[in-house]
Amino acid sequence: MADKITVAGVSVDTRHWVGGQRVASVDTFTDTSPIDGSALGEIARGGPAEAQAAVAAARAAFPSWAATPRAERARLLHAIADGVEKRIEELAIVETTDNGALLRSHRRGVMPRVAHNFRFFADWLLTLEHEDFETRGHSNHVSWDPAGPCVLITPWNAPLMLATWKVAPALAAGNTVILKPAEWSPLTASLLADIAAEAGLPAGVLNVVQGYGAEIGDALTSHPDVRRISFTGSVPTAKRIAASAAANLTPLSLELGGKSPLLVFADANLELAVDLAVEQYDNAGQVCLAGTRLLVEDSVAEEFTRRFVAKAGALRQGDPRDEATDIGPNIHPRQLEKIDGFVQRAIAEGARTVIGGHRRDGQFYAPTLLTDVAQDSEVVQEEVFGPVLTLQTFADEEEGVRLANDTRFGLAATLATGDPERAERVTAQLVAGTVWVNCFFVRDLQAPFGGSRLSGVGREGGTWSFDFYCDLKNTVTAPKGFKDHG
């Protein structure tokens, strides 16, 4: 196995990063590009031994990092952000080559956001305080104490963005980290390790291990020295991780899948509603928050569909490195098979294909809209994670809300309506971690983020991230000379 590979002109180390050292494994796995299916290189494939080593390194580095003053931790996080900003072009092209998402959005949106993740949590750390309060003359002081080594496990659909949204608050809180990126897109995590080292982060504070899910994951999530597990990924994996973490009652944060509704009311600005609907094809539909269930009020459904078809038909699908491309490839041949399986089963059950419904050459799936789908059908109830939307109609607000809430998920919901009172009424009834009214994907890092029902456990973001990554402590101090223990 070569220690380094060159991807789109950028040198990427293929080994783990443990205790400030690059570490190889006997086994490897092949990382491929969704753009053309080509092999990018062999990546170190960790197992229990690498997991043990990474937790040991994180544990050894913890006392000193936890004792590092907040201002110094914040300074180092800003230095990492500087390093990310210097390497935006490299990170963007490597990420696009590895996971197939658009280069233009990596360049202009995602990678700047990665830097912002570090800056935001560095700054938020410095504001973190709870006003002291009194109990019968005793003072109460609340502190956010670092918890210990944290295992952070991330998916492939937005690799570095989702990884750093966990790494930044975990490090800011004074914890050490073991990051396990997804095996279908491991490369930018390795570049992050380089950037953190160059920024001066002490050895062992951030560790990166690569490998297949359970093969390395079980040893990480069941380890007694691990104090927090934050996971973003699918529901079946989350259940397995929760079972593994149960051995030590390790606190978990789970950010999982969705089957979110996009409700279009007759009083909506229809042009805006159509734009919002077409946006759900972003990242080839591989977005957890996507509003994949279009729920449209009867009286505007025909006009909405006509405009949607025209707009979606203008989307350009192709090479994600091309600035003009709107939709890139799907991540992996297995994901394509999964997507097509959902669509073909839906069609066999009587769904009508408004657009798409088939693969295209290479690793592409045609943007698809299915209608005539039953509420209890698989395609309405289960996450497809591809460019596949369903369209159902509703007669009135009550029916719209009922359909919107009628899945096992509760990650997000989007509504298009011109009536602010309706927006308030409907929002109050929706089961969703995030509701967008006449907009989509506006995300502030200080907002609580997470899902209800099978979409997740807990919330991260702003102070909620620190609440999760810290051991909260309340210190009660008696006034001088006070003897009463009552």
What does the binding site for ligand NAD look like in residue numbers (CB under 6 A)? 153-157, 162, 180, 182-183, 213-214, 217-218, 221, 232-234, 237, 240-241, 255-258, 288, 383, 385, 411, 451, 456
Specify the pairing of strand 434-437 against strand 412-416.
parallel
CB of 111 to ligand NAD, least distance (A): 17
Q: How many other β-carbons are positioned within 10 Å of the β-carbon of residue 3?
A: 11
Q: 174 or 233: whose CB is closer to ligand NAD?
A: 233
Q: 161 or 373: whose CB is closer to ligand NAD?
A: 161
Q: 348 or 442: whose CB is closer to ligand NAD?
A: 442
Q: 418 or 458: whose CB is closer to ligand NAD?
A: 458
Q: 155 or 400: whose CB is closer to ligand NAD?
A: 155
- The answer to whether the beta carbons of residues 36 and 203 sit under 8 Å apart is no
Q: How far is residue 384 from each of residues 153, 230, 270, 337, measured CA to CA in Å?
A: 21, 23, 26, 11
Q: Is 95 exposed, middle or buried (0-12, 13-18, 19+ CB in 10 A)?
A: buried
Specify the pairing of strand 352-355 against strand 368-371.
antiparallel
- The answer to whether the beta carbons of residues 267 and 299 sit under 8 Å apart is no
CA torsion sign for 330, 332, 338, 344 is positive
Q: 179 or 278: whose CB is closer to ligand NAD?
A: 179
CB of 134 to ligand NAD, least distance (A): 40
Q: 353 or 381: whose CB is closer to ligand NAD?
A: 381
Listed in sequence order, the residues at least 6 apart from 362 whose beta carbon sits closer than 8 Å to its beta carbon are 36, 37, 329
Question: Mapping DSSP to helix (H, G, I), strand (E, B) and coil, where does residue 198 land?
Answer: helix
CB of 414 to ligand NAD, least distance (A): 15
Check if 383 is active-site. no
**Euclidean distance between CA atoms 217 and 105, whole angstroms:** 30
With residue 370 as reference, give the H or E element that holds it.
strand 368-371
Check if 183 is active-site. no
**Within 128-152, where are the H helices?**
none
CB of 302 to ligand NAD, least distance (A): 31
Q: Which of 255, 297, 383, 460 is catalytic?
A: 255
Structure-block tokens of residue 253: 């944060």
Q: 218 or 406: whose CB is closer to ligand NAD?
A: 218
CB of 237 to ligand NAD, least distance (A): 3
CB of 286 to ligand NAD, least distance (A): 7
> Which residues face 177 on adjacent strands?
150, 206
CB of 11 to ligand NAD, least distance (A): 23
CB of 244 to ligand NAD, least distance (A): 7
- The answer to whether the beta carbons of residues 26 and 181 sit under 8 Å apart is no
CA torsion sign for 62, 67, 69, 72 is negative
Question: Mapping DSSP to helix (H, G, I), strand (E, B) and coil, where does residue 31 land?
Answer: strand
Would you mind telling me the total number of residues written for the chain in this entry? 486
Three-state SS across 241-302? HHHHHHHHCCCEEEECCCCCEEEECCCCCHHHHHHHHHHHHHHHHCCCCCCCEEEEEHHHHH
Ramachandran bin of 357, using left for φ above 0, alpha for ψ from -120 to 50, beta for the remaining angles: left
Q: Which of 288, 297, 383, 460 is catalytic?
A: 288
Q: So which residues are the catalytic ones? A: 255, 288
